[in-house]
Amino acid sequence: MSNLANKKVQVQSFDKNSRDFALLESVCSSWKDDFWSFASVCEAIALKSNKTFYISNAKEIEGIILADVGGYSAELLYVYVRKEYRGQKISSLLLDKLIEDLTGLDEFENLFLEVRTENSAAIKLYESHGFLKVGERKNYYSNNEDALVYSYEFKSKNQ
How many domains does the chain contain in total?
1
Mean pLDDT of the chain: 83
* Bigger pLDDT: 35 vs 61: 61
In contact, 93 and 9? CB cutoff 8 Å = yes
Domain membership of residue 159 (yes or no) is: no
Which range of residues forms the domain containing residue 62? 11-153
Top-confidence range, 12-21, 22-31, 39-48, 78-87: 78-87
Domain membership of residue 91 (yes or no) is: yes
In a 3-state reduction of DSSP, which class is residue 149? strand
| pLDDT at 3 exceeding the cut of 60 | no
Cβ of 120: how many Cβ atoms within 10 Å?
10
Domain membership of residue 149 (yes or no) is: yes
Domain membership of residue 97 (yes or no) is: yes
On the 0-12 / 13-18 / 19+ scale of CB atoms within 10 A, 58 is exposed
CA-nearest of 79, 65, 56, 63 to 8 is: 56
* Bigger pLDDT: 14 vs 96: 96
Domain membership of residue 37 (yes or no) is: yes
Domain membership of residue 4 (yes or no) is: no
Please report the pLDDT score of residue 35 as a whole number. Answer: 62
Handedness of CA 140, 86, 56, 7 (dihedral sign): positive
Residue 24's domain is classified under what CATH number?
A: 3.40.630.30
Domain membership of residue 56 (yes or no) is: yes
Domain membership of residue 6 (yes or no) is: no
**Phi and psi torsions of 143, nearest 5°:** -95, 15
Contacts of residue 44, defined as CB under 8 A and 6 or more positions apart, other chains included, come to 36, 50, 66, 68, 77
| pLDDT at 46 exceeding the cut of 80 | no
